[in-house]
Structure 1
Amino acid sequence: MITAPPSKAARQAKIIELLGQHPVRSQTELAELLAGAGVSVTQGTLSKDLVEIGALRVRGEGGHLIYAVPSDGGDRTPQTDYATFAVRLARLCNEVLTSAEASANLVVLRTPPGAAQYFASAIDRVGWSAILGTIAGDDTVLMITRDPTGGAAIAEQFLIMARTGKPAGLDNAAAGRANSDEGASIP
């Protein structure tokens, strides 16, 4: 099976994910982690990606310098809490979400080719209780909501994040406010 290289947004999302999971000391080490995840990248591209995502070198446990992506607002401490994951998801929605459609408790999210799996992973990391789970292909994410009629409300929350690039208030109550099963595209 031949697969297309991941999009820039998908590659950068994977870099952020790896930096949050591993104490990465060098670009070479990060390139090896990316290769292990099936993402091939040159040193020049990796260097540009690190600058674009705002990665910094900070002192990790043991005093070693490691790469980290600070939370929004300039806090140089690496963050892995709900708010940080929600901010990253909103930013990713703004960069890769092209449409969202719903039917009953199902939401279909469309992305450019290569971005869907990273996008689904970002959704899963937020851990919203209204979302039962995700399944991703190359350019499509199927999201299942807990509420039998909650798909439209959740699709709308993702469309808001795509337009604004900011986290939308999504909770179990939001999933129950859906009255229609309509989808929409990003303007």
Structure 2
Amino acid sequence: MSSPAPQQRPASRLGPVSRLGTAPRLSSVRAGAPPAEQQDETPEPLVGALQELVFTVREAENLVVLKTLRGAAPMVAAVIDDAMIAPIVATVAGNDTVLAITRSEVAGGIIARYFRSLAGVGPRRARPVTSSRAGTAALPGAAHDEESG
């Protein structure tokens, strides 16, 4: 039995990346359509997932890292994959982190800005910390150190 062929991303599905003001947009280009008929095409599930589940978007060269609510990363990665964004080669999901791998460093920056604009977040959203020891209580041996110190 032969295995099914892997899905190919159609090159014409999402066309060139351009800027509109400071927020980037991805333009959809129909095969053979004149430029006047180009229109924005951002899938609604992508917008909803990014707005509801993502709280930071950072980039490092060609990598885009999205921090999500706990347990939401696989869903966000699936929505990104379904959007078939041409510069994204692959996504990897953990529990609360999605790694989107892009074709180049330039594409990484553009995709990160695009995701930030859709999610309505900046590169970082600070989490409240009550004390410097708050994060160490769960570490092995931390309770022992506090009792003896």
Q: 1:37-75: per-residue Cα shift (whole Å, max 9, x none)?
A: xxxxxxxxxxxxxxxxxxxxxxxxxxxxxxxxxxxxxxx
The yes-or-no answer on 1:113 pairing with 2:70 is yes
Match of 2:124 in 1: 185
The aligned runs of 1:2-151 (5 Å cut-off) are: 83=41, 86-151=43-108
Give the whole-Å Cα distance in 1 for the aligned partners of 2:66 and 2:75: 12
Shift of 1:163: 1.5
CA contact (8 A) 1:162 1:186 kept: no
> Which structure carries more strand by proportion?
2
Alignment deviations for residues 103-157 of structure 1 (CA, whole Å, 9 cap, x no partner) = 1100100001000000000000010111111000000000000123321221111
Output the TM-score relative to the length of structure 2: 0.53
Larger helix percent: 1
Is contact 1:117–1:136 with CA below 8 Å preserved after alignment?
Answer: yes
Alpha-carbon distance, 1:91 to partner: 1.0
In structure 1, what is the Cα distance between the partners aligned to 2:83 and 2:60? 22
Aligned residues: 87
Structure 1 residue 186: Cα displacement: 5.1
| CA distance, structure 2, for counterparts of residue 186 and residue 96 of structure 1 | 13
Contact in 2 for aligned 1:106/1:151 (Cα 8 Å): yes
CA deviations over 1:85-111 (Å, ceiling 9, x no partner): 711101111001100110110010000
Task: Provide the C-alpha distance between the structure 2 equivalents of 1:186 and 1:122, rounded to a whole number of angstroms.
Answer: 22
Stretches of structure 1 that go unaligned for 5 or more consecutive residues are 1-82, 165-182
Query: Could you tell me the TM-score, scaled by structure 1's length?
Result: 0.43
Runs of 4+ residues over 3 Å off in structure 1: none
Tell me the amino acid that sits aligned with residue 184 of structure 1.
Answer: P
Give distance in 2, aligned partners of 1:163 and 1:99. Answer: 9
One-letter code of the match for 1:114? G
> Which structure is larger by alpha-carbon Rg, 1 or 2?
2
Identify which of 125, 149, 156 aligns with 2:113.
156
Structure 2: runs of 5+ lacking an equivalent: 1-40, 127-149
Task: Say what the alpha-carbon RMSD is for the aligned residues.
Answer: 2.3
In the alignment, the residues of structure 1 paired with residue 43 and residue 125 of structure 2 have an alpha-carbon distance, to the nearest angstrom, of: 19
